[in-house]
Structures are given as C-alpha cells and as structure tokens.
Structure 1
Amino acid sequence: MVHMDVREKRYEVLDGLRGVAAIGVMLMHYSENTGRMLFVNADIAVDLFFVLSGFVLMHSYRSKLLLGLSAREYVRKRIIRLYPMFAISMAIGIPALIAAAMIGLADYPLRSIIVASLDNLLFLPYLGDHGVANMVSGAAHLPVEKYTVGEIFPANPSAWSLFFEMCASVALLVLIRLQRRDLIKLIIASAILLFGTGVLLGFEHKNAIPVFFGAGWGTRNFFAGFIRVSYGFSMGVLIYSLHENQTPLKFGRALSAVIRNDLALYLLFAVAIACPFGMKGLYPMAVIFFVAPLMVYCGANIAPTGRVGARVAHFLGWMSYPIYCLHFPIGRLIFMYFPGSEHRPAQAIALSVALTIVISVIVTKLLEEPVRTYLTKKFASRARVGLKAESVV
C-alpha cells in the first residue's frame, strides 16, 4: 500500500497569518515618512516569519531529509523557491535605486550601486555605509543625516531577511538531528544573546529605545541578524516538534481560549503589530519571545472557517511572498514620482498598495510560477521521484 505521511497536511491558517504579516510590513514601510505611520511595530512580523519558516520547513522537509534527500537537492529546492521572485524584485529595485541617486535622494555613487547589486544578486549582503531616503517624493530635499544608512540590500531593503532565511534553511540540516533538550538550550542561548545585543544596540538610539530588537537589515547591526534568526527559526522547529507530538502548553491553552478561529488569529496579530507603544523595548520583546511563538502554536491547530476562510487563507499565503519581495522597490518608485506625495500621503499609500497587489498577482502568475515550475522540473525532479518511490511500503 501507499504510506500517507501526515506531513502532507497544509497549515492554511499559518499561510494566512503570513499574509497578514506581509501586508503589515508593506503598510509600515509605505507610511514610515508620512507622519502617520501605520503598523508601527510591524518589524516584529519578520520575527514571526522566522518562526513560521522553522515550523513549515520542518513540516515540509524533515522526513524527506531523514529519508535520503541530499543536502544539495534540499538547498537547490530552497533556492528555486526563494530566488526567482527576489530576482524580479531586483529588476525593479536596481533602476529605482539609480533613479533615487540621480534625483538626489541617495548618496550612492554608480560604482557602489553596481557592487551592491552584484553582491545582492548572488544573495549576499552589501556592507556599505551609503544612505537613501525611502518612500519620499522626488520633490523633497531631505538632509543627508535623515537618510537610511547602510542597508545591506539597498535595491530592495526588505530582502535582508531573505538572506537570513537562506542561512536558516541550511541550518535546518543540523537542527533536524538535535535532541529536544539541545534545541531548547540553543533557543535559550539565542534569546539571551538577542536580549544582550538589543541592549547594546539600544545605546545607539540615545535612550529612545533602551532595548532594540530590529537588527539585521543594516551594516551596523548585520551580525545581530544571525542571533535574531537563530532564535526565531529554532523556536519554529521546537514548536513543530511540540505540535507533532501533541504536547500541550499551558499558555497555549490560555491563548487558544481567546483565538478560537482564523479570523481571531489574524485580527489579534494585526492589532499586535499596529500597537503604537514600544514601552522602551518591552513590548516588542514580549511579542517576539512569547506572543508570536504562541500564535504559531495555536494557528497550527486551527482550521479555516469554511470555504471562504480557506480561500482567504490560501490567497493571503499565496500573496505573502510576492508582496514582501516587491513592495519596497514599487513603493520607492511611486513615492518618488507621484505628484505631491509629500502633501497627499494617503493617495500615495493607496496607489502603492493597489499597484503592489496587482503587479504581484500578474508577476506571480505569468513569470515567477512558470519559472519555478521549469527550474523544479529541470533541477529538482529527480529527488522528488526518488522520495516518492521510498514512500511505497
């Protein structure tokens, strides 16, 4: 007979949660220089992404790797999944960065843009110290000291997390073989280091944020990104292990009493990242260390509410990666060239959101998915056939 692996299950509500997080990040970036910032704490969504990635990759690849999928084939699959949409975003982002430099909204010389772009196209960070004014009208004249300095993916700043996502994907090869007690030790050590680096980075904010957890995106905080992803991804791996073994969590049961369906989960996370309070770093710390992991734990046990809920979850999950990849370069261009965007930020945000969604749908359907299908058939099909053969017992 054919062995039916429980890992074939799809966690649709977690897909939907990822979509809500991606939309929150998009709205935060589009509104960051308008004076009325939306989803103020949406940078926490990246930590949720890392937890979700640990959970989902364990679900998708743990048994396959243990059954014989080679490390080379696994990494190849991850590159095929992540790179095409990233490359598309760079095709928009590089001209956008050049345009920003030409009209005085970036101090990147052409040589630095070329070097940064080549590094980034190889999925490597660019550790420079140039700056750019993001989501600002081309008619604006911001002083250089207000530029965002040292973005490691300057043509598409959001892509910084994809680099760490790829590093975490490779780390899964080791994490799947750790005993639970060793995994917990890794999580505790990462949490302590994350808090410690947060305190050190907080000094740079001159007491505005005593504990700063938004590391990884820039040259000055780049190495702290490894600690950030280590905690989130390892936590996701642990949550999957607990979920697979149906291990009850005291706080998980308490949160489940509040989160009874998918809509409640989406709404609660939206409220969490929209909360305008930082409480000197304590609020982000609580979400990163407790709320986000528990939401993933609870979301894994929730089914979509009917057909409509399933369709919404599917659409949100399907759109999450293209929105995350494409929104920054699209928004940068729109804000630069939309007439009067500094005086009409709501219109600029609405246009940016609408175009991001439309372009994401078109690009995904007509370009990214066909490219991924082709690359999978050409480079990753043999591993899939081999594993199918092993599932017959």
Structure 2
Amino acid sequence: MRQAATDTHYHSRRLVLLDGLRGLAAVGVILFHADLGGLGLAFPRGYLLVDLFFLLSGFVLALALEQRFAAGLGAGPFVRQRLRRFFPMVAAGTVLGFAAILGRDYPVLACVLTLVVSLAMIPLPMATMFPLNPPQWSLMVELIANAVHARWLHRVSTAGLAALAGACAIGLAAAFAWEGSGDLGSGILQLPAGLLRAGWSYVLGIVLARVWKVRRPVPLADWRIALAAPVVAIAVLPLAPVPTWLGDAFVILAVFPALFWVAASATPSQAGERPLAALGSISFPLYAVHFPILNAADQLGGATGRLAGVAMAILIAAALAAATSGRLSAVFNNRRRVAEGA
C-alpha cells in the first residue's frame, strides 16, 4: 500500500512538471506578443508555443480520461465540462478585448456584435476570426480536438493515431512551405492550417501518453533542463540558417516531440512542486487574457507600456486562477487522481 502511494506521488510529480512547462510556454507567448525590444526579440517565433499547448492537452487528457471514455463518458457531457472550464477565461479575454477598444475609432454597434459572437466562440469570416482577442482561435481549435477525442479518437488504435498524426504532419509542412511561416490559424482562411496544427500535435500527445503509460520512462535529464529546453529551443530557433517555414516545421515535427518526451520523463524535486503548480495554475488565464491587456497597454506608449502590460497580465491571470480554481492544493489533488488513473 505504501509503495502504491509512493508510485502515485512519483507520477503526479511528473505531471506537475508539465504544468510548469505550460506556464513557461504561456510566458513565452506573452513575450512574443509584447515585443519588448531585447526580450521580445528572444521570442520572434513564440507562436510555435501554441503547438506545445496542443501537445500537452492531448497528452494530459489521454492520461486522465481515456479510461473514462472507454467506460462510457460521452462526448456531450465531456465537452460541456470543457466548456465550463474554458468559458470563464474566454469571457474574461473577450470582455477585456472589448474594453480595450472602447473610445477608439470603431463603430460601437459592430464592437457589441463582435463581443456577442466572440462570447459564443463563433469565428468571424475575417482575417482575424476573434478580433477582440486573437489567441482565442487556438482555444476554439483545442475544444474541437477535445470533442473529436471524446467522440472518436479514444477508440482508434495507437497505430491508427500515429498514421493520422503523420498525415496531418505532411499537410502541415506543405502549408508552412506555401505560406512561408508556421504562424497560421488566426484567420478564417488559415483555419485549415490551424486544424492541421492541432491534428498533428494533439493526436501525437495522445500517442505519447499511451506509450508513457506502458513504458513509464526513466528520467533522461535533470528536471530543470527538461523544463526549460522547449522554450529555449524557440528562443534560439531564429539563429538557424534555414528558411522560416522549414525551421518552424522542424521544431513542431521533431524538436517539440523529443523535448516533450524528455520533460514527461523527468521528475522534479519535492521543493519544485509548488512553484511548478503555481506556474501551471496561471498558464491558461495568462494565455486567455494577455492580448487585450497588452493592447490596452499600447496607449501608454512604447516598451514601457508593454512592460506594464506584461506585469498587469500576470497579476490578472493570477487573480483569475485564484478565483476559478481555489487553493493550489486542488491542483496537487487533481494531479494525483490523474496519476492513479494512469
């Protein structure tokens, strides 16, 4: 009994490391959008971190819920659960986006209609599907991936999922080569490419989770290295002497999967659990609300305004996390439940 409890805690610590990775990725995205001179230049390809979010989502949800899907948890109830989790942050980001454009030279009626449509998570047929909060496109795509996972993907064999992911990878590389970049998905004409991004990374996350459950890999690197490596890879990517699209495709198709497996195999120290869980707790709200906050901070002017926007986004994300998820102990308990189910 004691050994079982020890094993459960060991695997829950691995999942807490992935929480920390999600938090670092969210920070990388906000620095990409903030464009803070030197700091911003370290993340000109920060848009690729969205693919890391898709990979994390497929992996964690496969560990936590595939057995429940097989036992009868239907797609409808599951999607409603996901919507209950997503909607408060989507609403916060949309309302903040609406507030950020008030007083500017936009028709009020058009802004109100955009607010209503965005709250309903209905994409607009425009160059930016969610103009009040552009990153919302990836939240919509993730929800679609979640629904497909619950309805169909959990029934597909691991080999079949690998084939599906491979087909998405081919389409993704072609789209990147055609467009010249991997920064695709926010516009209505880019939606197919955005779905391919999720099709590759999310489905691969499911495959890796199934392998992880069987193999339970031994740590391949110190947990601090494993935590930082994916974000560092994005920071150094611009130094690679290759076309942008090729570098983007290489990171998504090869670098992220390899480094994610290293992160999934690593086990943080007990002292590192709480800061990692704290990073994880703010990751979703930070991603969901940062863009309109940075947009509003533009009124202050220059890098100073954007720096203030970054600080404000982190503070608001922390407040939203506390308001919606309660104490950090709830995160630990959830992770232990996932480890027991895995």
Aligned equivalent of 1:382: none
CA deviation after TM superposition for structure 1 residue 32, in Å = 6.8
CA deviation after TM superposition for structure 1 residue 47, in Å = 0.4
Aligned equivalent of 2:179: 201
CA deviation after TM superposition for structure 1 residue 222, in Å = 2.0
CA deviation after TM superposition for structure 1 residue 121, in Å = 0.8
Give runs of ≥4 in structure 1 deviating > 4 Å.
3-8, 32-36
Among candidates 202, 205, 221, match of residue 233 of structure 1: 202
Aligned equivalent of 2:229: 268
| Cα deviation digits, residues 334-369 of structure 1 (max 9, x gap) | 112x1xx23xx1x22331121111112223323x33
How far, CA to CA, are the matches of 1:67 and 1:6 in structure 2? 22
Rate the CA distance shift 1:33–1:12 in 2: closer, same or farther, 3 A.
same
Aligned equivalent of 1:213: 182
Structure 2 counterpart SS, 1:245: helix
How far, CA to CA, are the matches of 1:199 and 1:234 in structure 2? 22
| Cα deviation digits, residues 220-260 of structure 1 (max 9, x gap) | 31221111111111010111011111187xxxx9xx65xx2
Q: Does 1:333 align with 2:296?
A: yes
How far, CA to CA, are the matches of 1:294 and 1:124 in structure 2? 35
* Alignment check: 8 A CA contact 2:176 2:246 kept: no
Of the two, which has the highest radius of gyration? 1
* Alignment check: 8 A CA contact 2:36 2:307 kept: no
* Alignment check: 8 A CA contact 1:41 1:272 kept: no
Aligned ranges for residues 116-131 of structure 1 at < 5 Å? 116-128=114-126
Q: Does 1:246 align with 2:215?
A: yes
Q: Does 1:369 align with 2:331?
A: no
Higher helix share: 2
Aligned equivalent of 2:267: 303
Among candidates 223, 227, 230, match of residue 192 of structure 2: 223
* Alignment check: 8 A CA contact 2:63 2:210 kept: no
Aligned equivalent of 1:175: 153
How far, CA to CA, are the matches of 1:305 and 1:36 in structure 2? 31
Q: Does 1:155 align with 2:132?
A: yes
How far, CA to CA, are the matches of 1:76 and 1:9 in structure 2? 26
Task: Specify every segment of 5 or more residues in structure 1 that has no aligned partner in the other structure, as ranges.
Answer: 103-107, 129-149, 203-211, 371-387
Among candidates 14, 19, 25, match of residue 15 of structure 1: 19
How far, CA to CA, are the matches of 2:39 and 2:204 in structure 1? 35
Structure 2 counterpart SS, 1:17: helix
* Alignment check: 8 A CA contact 2:34 2:40 kept: no
Q: Which amino acid aligns with 2:234?
A: I
How far, CA to CA, are the matches of 1:215 and 1:117 in structure 2? 23
How far, CA to CA, are the matches of 1:304 and 1:270 in structure 2? 17
Structure 2 counterpart SS, 1:90: helix
How far, CA to CA, are the matches of 1:329 and 1:55 in structure 2? 29
Structure 1 range deviating more: 295-304 or 152-161: 295-304
How far, CA to CA, are the matches of 1:86 and 1:305 in structure 2? 34
Rate the CA distance shift 1:240–1:319 in 2: closer, same or farther, 3 A.
same
* Alignment check: 8 A CA contact 1:152 1:218 kept: yes
CA deviation after TM superposition for structure 1 residue 15, in Å = 0.7
Rate the CA distance shift 1:61–1:35 in 2: closer, same or farther, 3 A.
closer
Q: Does 1:277 align with 2:242?
A: no
Rate the CA distance shift 1:33–1:120 in 2: closer, same or farther, 3 A.
farther
Rate the CA distance shift 1:213–1:293 in 2: closer, same or farther, 3 A.
same
| Cα deviation digits, residues 351-388 of structure 1 (max 9, x gap) | 1121111112223323x337xxxxxxxxxxxxxxxxx9
When the two structures are superposed, what TM-score results if normalisation uses the length of structure 1?
0.75
| Cα deviation digits, residues 19-68 of structure 1 (max 9, x gap) | 11000000110117899634111111000000111001111111111112
When the two structures are superposed, what TM-score results if normalisation uses the length of structure 2?
0.85
Task: Specify every segment of 5 or more residues in structure 2 that has no aligned partner in the other structure, as ranges.
Answer: 327-336
Aligned ranges for residues 71-150 of structure 1 at < 5 Å? 71-99=75-103, 101-102=104-105, 109-128=107-126, 150=127
Aligned equivalent of 1:31: 35
Aligned equivalent of 1:49: 53
Report percent identity of matched pairs.
Answer: 30
How far, CA to CA, are the matches of 1:364 and 1:122 in structure 2? 22
